[in-house]
């Protein structure tokens, strides 16, 4: 079992240091043993990851926004998931609303307290009617355990890989803590333990098998990485800002779309990138490392109101207030 020092200490330097170097170490707390499984036998709701854990530090950081496109693209690289999103999602007609709802949901899983389990139930109800035929002619249902588990499973390797660039590489103890906490989030979503590998050692063979046998460049994957795909201007926020963005959108969209493609492919684990067939050059890798080196220096010195997403910021403040010595 990992010691508390292994998990709570700064993200280690050394041969596995974050690409580009030059960043100050940042603390990442959490318990090496991870959260305890919920008391399903007593009918209790699964608890979200505990405050102070790896996910608590990671998923509310603004840099996590750059990680999400890679995870979302990997989700829809599964033939059944890609078909479900292609046929049932509003991501083409309401991309900003769809993104806002997805981000709110993810934040609830980690920072929502009692709302986390309710959000998990809401998502299962939402997916009950999603079914059809996938890209290989197989019947699918969104809540089929293998499909539903894959959607969740993609988060762990993307967090683990992207953190190397944007924050710091994790120690083995931190990776185990992250995986244990991600399993806990899976329970909130209604994923049974039998449907997800229960150890990090078992996860990687599952991951490799999925990349080798299931993952492909689905229609939705191709759209998500297409820099020429039309996207409507944002329809959220103060109306003066929306008006300005609408007027400037023909100029703003092309570079934003190229940047979206860049971070989507760049922060995807290389083995997954290869399995989907997405191109990535040595020059692009250098650009990604330079960008991330700047973010590793700048983001940690930002005030909390700028560094953390609103839900995470509120949860952190509430936790400090409730702490005995807060």
What's phi and psi for 86, nearest 5 deg? -60, -40
Q: What is residue 33's predicted lDDT score, i.e. its pLDDT? A: 36
> DSSP labels for 55-115?
HHHHTTBTTHHHHHHHHHHHHTTSHHHHHHHHHH--TTT-HHHHHHHHHHHHHHHHH-THH
By three-state DSSP, how is residue 146 classified? helix
Token pair in block for residue 40: 């399903």
Residue 326 lies in a domain: no
Query: Per-block average pLDDT, block size 10, for the chain (326 residues)?
Result: 34 36 42 38 77 91 96 96 89 86 92 92 92 92 93 96 96 96 95 95 97 96 94 89 93 96 97 97 98 97 94 91 70
Number of domains in the chain: 1
The answer to whether 217 touches 81, Cβ cutoff 8 Å, is: no
Residue 113 lies in a domain: yes
Range of the structural domain that residue 95 is part of? 54-321
Dihedral angle sign, alpha carbons of residues 165, 208, 127, 189: negative
pTM of the model: 0.85
The answer to whether 13 touches 36, Cβ cutoff 8 Å, is: no
Token pair in block for residue 99: 């993104």
Give the distance between the most distant pair of CA atoms in the chain: 59
Spatial distance between the Cα atoms of 165 and 289, rounded to a whole number of angstroms = 7
Q: What is residue 248's predicted lDDT score, i.e. its pLDDT? A: 95
- Taking only Cα atoms into account, the Rg of the chain, rounded to an integer number of angstroms, comes to 20
Q: How far is CA 46 from CA 30, 50, 153, in A?
A: 18, 12, 18
Q: What is residue 97's predicted lDDT score, i.e. its pLDDT? A: 85
Spatial distance between the Cα atoms of 310 and 69, rounded to a whole number of angstroms = 20
Spatial distance between the Cα atoms of 134 and 302, rounded to a whole number of angstroms = 45
Separation of CA 73 from chain center = 11
Q: Which of left, alpha, beta for 44 (phi over 0: left; psi -120 to 50: alpha)?
A: beta
Residue 220 lies in a domain: yes
Q: What is residue 43's predicted lDDT score, i.e. its pLDDT? A: 67
By three-state DSSP, how is residue 312 classified? helix
Helices 79-88 + 145-153 axis angle, to 10: 90
Residue 23 lies in a domain: no
Q: How far is CA 128 from CA 78, 149, 249, in A?
A: 18, 15, 37
Contacts for 60 with CB less than 8 Å, ≥ 6 apart: 107, 110, 111, 308, 309, 311, 312, 313, 315, 316
The answer to whether 147 touches 80, Cβ cutoff 8 Å, is: yes
Residue 25 lies in a domain: no
Closest C-alpha to 73, from 252, 204, 260: 260
Residue 26 lies in a domain: no
Residue 10 lies in a domain: no
Spatial distance between the Cα atoms of 177 and 200, rounded to a whole number of angstroms = 10
Residue 210 lies in a domain: yes
């Amino acid at each position: 079992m990992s010691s508390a020092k292994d998990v709570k200490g700064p993200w280690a330097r050394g041969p596995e240091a974050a690409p580009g170097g030059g960043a100050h170490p940042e603390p990442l707390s959490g318990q090496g043993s991870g959260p305890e499984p919920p008391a399903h036998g007593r009918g209790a709701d699964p608890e979200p990851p505990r405050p102070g854990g790896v996910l608590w530090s990671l998923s509310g950081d603004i840099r996590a926004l750059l990680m999400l496109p890679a995870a979302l693209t990997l989700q829809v690289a599964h033939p059944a998931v890609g078909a479900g999103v292609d046929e049932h999602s509003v991501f083409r007609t309401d991309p900003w609303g769809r993104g806002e709802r997805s981000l709110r949901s993810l934040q609830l899983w980690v920072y929502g307290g009692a709302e986390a389990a309710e959000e998990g139930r809401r998502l299962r109800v939402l997916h009950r009617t999603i079914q059809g035929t996938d890209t290989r002619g197989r019947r699918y249902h969104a809540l089929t355990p293998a499909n539903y588990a894959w959607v969740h499973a993609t988060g762990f390797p993307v967090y683990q890989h992207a953190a190397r660039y944007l924050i710091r590489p994790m120690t083995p103890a931190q990776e185990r803590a992250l995986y244990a906490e991600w399993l806990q989030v899976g329970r909130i979503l209604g994923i049974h333990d039998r449907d997800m590998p229960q150890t990090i050692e078992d996860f990687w063979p599952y991951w490799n098998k999925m990349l080798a046998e299931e993952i492909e460049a689905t229609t939705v994957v191709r759209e998500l990485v297409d820099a020429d795909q039309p996207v409507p201007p944002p329809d959220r926020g103060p109306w003066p800002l929306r008006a300005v963005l609408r007027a400037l959108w023909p100029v703003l969209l092309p570079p934003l779309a190229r940047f979206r493609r860049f971070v989507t492919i760049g922060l995807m684990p290389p083995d997954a990138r290869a399995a989907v067939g997405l191109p990535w050059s040595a020059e692009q890798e250098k650009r990604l490392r330079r960008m991330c080196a700047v973010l590793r220096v700048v983001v940690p010195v930002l005030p909390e109101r700028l560094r953390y997403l609103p839900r995470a910021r509120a949860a952190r403040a509430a936790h400090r207030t409730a702490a005995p010595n807060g």
